[in-house]
Chains A and B, each alone.
Chain A
Amino acid sequence: NAGVTQTPKFQVLKTGQSMTLQCAQDMNHEYMSWYRQDPGMGLRLIHYSVGAGITDQGEVPNGYNVSRSTTEDFPLRLLSAAPSQTSVYFCASSTSSRTPRIGYTFGSGTRLTVV
């Protein structure tokens, strides 16, 4: 049971390049989310999904796309990278099951730098 796996751990992009951040979970969780973390701004929700085939926008969705074709995978696509997207990205998953806990489990993060 690996939990939530994010790849890559580090990435440097040039402005205008595109890339996909990968996220996979093996806990059969229905809910998956992408957050970005910037100094002093906490964790801001980019996109989230309540199940395969269902996604919705969070607080800061512009410049990012997501899809959820399977329960396990929830990739985040940067369409045309900008320096403002330099951040640490976390993927997280959760379940609607009431026990033992319904809190989100986070991946280890991807540190992205756009130059």
Chain B
Amino acid sequence: GENVEQHPSTLSVQEGDSAVIKCTYSDSASNYFPWYKQELGKRPQLIIDIRSNVGEKKDQRIAVTLNKTAKHFSLHITETQPEDSAVYFCAASKGPPSNTGKLIFGQGTTLQVKP
């Protein structure tokens, strides 16, 4: 089955710097890659996603890149702010048109943005 590895497990940056979190996946049939943000004591929330027919996607200060050949994808946060401090999870699944509904997560990255 699918296995998702996420690095680093913790990341500390200064406010205004960029942060990069990387994930690798094992199942070449996976084609949907979402990223979730979880603040302390709260539920995970989807922040951005990418499908395998796209190499990069941006949404304001966050972007995700995908390298299908190498089977890895990354989350980039620019101009980090203290409110970006949270745990970030990557995930992978077989999305549409053959959506299996089986979403596998990485282990998470705790991002700390220092003021």
B67 within 8 A of A: no
Contact of B96 among A33, A43, A98, A104 (CB under 8 A): A98
Could you say which residues of chain B place their CB within 8 Å of the CB of A32? Answer: 101
Which of B12-20, B38-46, B68-76 contacts its partner? B38-46
**Segment 41-55 of B: residues with Cβ below 8 Å from A:** 42-46, 49
**A44 nearest in chain B by CB position:** B105
From DSSP, what is the main secondary structure of chain B's interface residues? Answer: loop
A101 to B104, CA, bound (A): 17
- Among B36, B43, B46, B105, the residue within 8 A (CB) of A101 is B46
| A49-B101, A59-B1, A108-B43 known; A103+B96 contact, CB < 8 A | no
Return chain A residues, CB-CB under 8 Å to B91.
Answer: 43
Asked if residues A90 and B44 are in contact (CB atoms below 8 Å), the reply is: yes
In Å, the complex CA distance between A107 and B103 comes to: 15
CA distance A94 to B6 in the complex (A): 23
> How many positions in chain A have a CB within 8 Å of any CB in the partner chain?
31
Check: A96 CB closer than 8 A to any chain B CB: yes
Interface residues, chain B, CB within 8 Å of chain A?
1, 6, 9, 32, 34, 36, 42-46, 49, 89, 91, 95-96, 99-108
In the complex, 30 of the A-B residue pairs with CB atoms within 8 angstroms, ordered by the A residue number, are A31-B101, A33-B103, A40-B108, A42-B6, A42-B106, A42-B107, A42-B108, A43-B44, A43-B89, A43-B91, A43-B105, A43-B108, A45-B103, A45-B105, A48-B102, A50-B99, A50-B100, A50-B101, A90-B44, A98-B96, A101-B46, A102-B99, A103-B34, A103-B36, A103-B46, A103-B49, A104-B46, A105-B46, A106-B44, A108-B42
Q: Which residues of chain A have a CB within 8 Å of any CB of chain B?
A: 30-33, 35, 40-45, 48-50, 56, 58-59, 90, 92, 94, 96, 98, 101-109
